[in-house]
Amino acid sequence: MGFTEKIKTRMHTKKGKVVVWVCVALLVITAFFSYKYFSAIFVNDVKNPGALYIREGASFNDVVDSLKVHDRLRNMTGFKWLAKKKKYTAHIRPGYYYLEKGMSINKIVNILRAGRQTPMRLTFNNVRTKAEFAAKIDRYLMADSTEILNLLNNKAFLDSLGFNENTIPCMFIPDTYEVWWTTKPAEFFKKMKEEYERFWNDSRLAKAKKLGLSPVEVSTLASIVQEETIKPDEKPRVAAVYLNRMNAGMPLQADPTVKFAVGDFSLRRILQVHTRINSPYNTYKHLGLPPGPIDFPYASSIDAVLNHENNDYLYFCARQDFSGYHNFARNFKEHFANAKQYRSTLDVKGIKK
């Protein structure tokens, strides 16, 4: 091999080595950026787990602002980049989305783009009035309490559900339900009607019929029982007292109905000035059940009426030990003695109202 040929061979060898090193460098760079891309897009990016609420008409900037305010993500730049790549920026879907620890940017964008909401676990209890109910429910729905309250008083809509402004609380049985945050109030009401009909199965309907009461009347009585005692084991006995009075043609004379009529559930003593109030809910003045429930009765209260105790009590009065339990009586003489003891205790404690 001549000198010139040797030089050419060496040059080709050097070029080959350069090409190899360039290829290796490109592979390393590609691998590095691929790793960075993978790390940014496909691994956990949730810094602070929590809720993301997106309202109707929200823009992509609104979504970004909400994520920033609550410091939800580690890599906002990566989120915005991927959102644009996947065209989420032009397809914002309202809803409640819970961002869990371990979620990647890719998963978050896919969930938001598809509108795969996290269901809300709606719970309500200890509710007495429609206004209180509306205030509790608007925590779980995009609609505000005013929309809900308006629907609770919408005669035409309530008629379509088989209720009226007084009886509609019967339809909402306190429990925990799954709903979408974007559910409209009317849709929510219809869902609760389905739950109501599921609750009133053949067994419960048969027991109500045996009592000669409709489901609404059972719920109305249950609401009174619920206000009378905080002791679950006493509810069937209290229910029996009121059923006995109804069957005997006696007025219920239920203090909680007077409190409802007055609009003050904090009253400790019911006086004559209260029992004279002119209201269809005043069971001292009006025979039978009031026009509707005085609170939102629990399933346990409804079942206490349906499965009431068999007794012949006609009266009961709170015990003077303030234990939450009651003394029961079969006649007015016994009741008067019990009531006198309780009133004396109130006097001693200085409780005037």
Which residue segments constitute the domains of the chain, with CATH numbers given?
Answer: 50-114 (3.30.1490.480), 121-199 (no CATH), 202-349 (no CATH)
Number of residues written out for the chain: 353
Q: What is the pLDDT of residues 34-83, one digit of tens each?
A: 444 555 677 778 999 999 999 999 999 999 999 999 999 999 999 999 99
Output the pLDDT for position 20.
45
Output the pLDDT for position 351.
66
Q: What is the pLDDT of residues 203-238, one digit of tens each?
A: 999 999 999 999 999 999 999 999 999 999 999 999
Output the pLDDT for position 269.
80
Q: Nearest-CA neighbor of 132 among 121, 117, 148, 118?
A: 148
Q: Nearest-CA neighbor of 228 among 252, 246, 255?
A: 255
Assessment of whether the complete model's pTM goes beyond 0.75:
yes
Helix, strand, coil content of the chain in percent (nearest 5): 55, 10, 35
Q: Is the pLDDT of residue 117 over 90?
A: yes
Q: What is the pLDDT of residues 262-295, one digit of tens each?
A: 999 888 888 889 999 999 999 999 999 999 999 9
Q: What is the pLDDT of residues 233-266, one digit of tens each?
A: 999 999 999 999 999 999 999 999 999 999 998 8
- Secondary structure of residue 80 in the 3-state scheme: helix
- Secondary structure of residue 160 in the 3-state scheme: helix
- Secondary structure of residue 268 in the 3-state scheme: coil
pLDDT class of 323 with cuts at 50, 70, 90: confident
For 266, the token pair is: 């904090």
Output the pLDDT for position 14.
55
